[in-house]
């Protein structure tokens, strides 16, 4: 469990000088998110038919899922570190990535020497994954990679990663309802993004500039 000192160090890595500043920012962002979900989310419509059609397209007629064989070089965050420590870690990870991309040394050798988790002795092999099994930041990158391609640095909640996918294959769907729920979530996020753009455009169209005295800023009403 993190101590108060660990928490203070973590928020400094995010650019906040005081815990109170971070809490105020987090509260503001939460309120903004709630307003957006209320204003925009109510406009989003994803029907069961939409989900079923997308499910059949994405999962080869509703029977097969895609999984990728994932490898990584992992650089964990220290339990207590500051912005300077993070900058050093990023620079270190970038140098290792450059060595991997240029084939100066094999990816597996770099993972064995510099990897910071249990996959290091195996050359960074973390196994096979279908969607829904990884953190979103890792999953989005992993499934976008071509076979053999090496990713840029990817941040997770625990550290930095250099990802590589070596192969992919089709496997039977393990849980149909879970797969459909995943499809519904993805469709909802896509529709939310579309409705958000429409909402912002409508705000700009309906707003007008009000001229205030010179010592007051221009505002939209």
Of 67, 68, 66, the C-alpha closest to 166 is 68
Tell me what pLDDT residue 8 has. Answer: 59
- 115 phi/psi in degrees, rounded to 5: -65, 145
Place of tokens 């071509």: 146
Has residue 61 got a pLDDT over 90?
Answer: no
Has residue 141 got a pLDDT over 70?
Answer: yes
- 164 phi/psi in degrees, rounded to 5: -145, 135
Has residue 25 got a pLDDT over 70?
Answer: no
DSSP state of 78: P
Write down how long the chain is: 221
Mean pLDDT of all residues in 31-52: 80
Any residues with CB less than 8 A from the CB of 196 and at least 6 apart, and which?
36, 40
Cβ proximity of 40 and 196 under 8 Å: yes
What's the pLDDT band for 36 if we cut at 50, 70, 90? Answer: confident
Task: Look at 71 and 178; give whichever has higher pLDDT.
Answer: 71
Has residue 173 got a pLDDT over 80?
Answer: yes
Has residue 208 got a pLDDT over 60?
Answer: no
> Checking DSSP bridges between strand 209-210 and strand 125-130, what pairing results, if any?
unpaired
pTM (global) more than 0.75: no
- 57 phi/psi in degrees, rounded to 5: -70, -45
Has residue 110 got a pLDDT over 90?
Answer: yes
Mean pLDDT of all residues in 178-194: 88
């Amino acid at each position: 469990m993190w101590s108060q000192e660990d928490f203070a160090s973590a928020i400094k890595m995010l650019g906040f000088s005081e815990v109170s500043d971070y809490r105020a920012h987090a509260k503001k962002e939460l309120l903004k998110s709630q307003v957006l979900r209320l204003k925009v989310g109510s406009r989003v419509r994803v029907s069961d038919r939409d989900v079923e059609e997308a499910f059949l397209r994405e999962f080869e007629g509703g029977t097969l899922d895609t999984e990728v064989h994932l490898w990584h070089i992992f650089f964990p965050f220290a339990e207590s570190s500051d912005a300077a420590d993070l900058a050093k870690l990023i620079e270190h990870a970038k140098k290792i990535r450059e060595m991997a991309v240029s084939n100066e040394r094999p990816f597996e050798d770099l993972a064995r020497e510099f990897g910071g988790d249990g996959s290091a002795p195996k050359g960074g092999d973390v196994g096979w994954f279908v969607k829904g099994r990884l953190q979103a930041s890792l999953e989005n990158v992993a499934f976008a990679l071509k076979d053999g391609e090496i990713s840029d640095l990817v941040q997770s909640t625990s550290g930095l990663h250099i990802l590589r996918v070596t192969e992919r294959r089709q496997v039977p769907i393990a849980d149909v309802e879970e797969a459909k729920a995943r499809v519904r979530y993805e469709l909802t996020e896509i529709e939310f993004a579309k409705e958000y753009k429409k909402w912002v455009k409508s705000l700009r169209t309906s707003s007008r500039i009000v001229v205030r005295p010179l010592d007051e800023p221009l505002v939209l009403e």
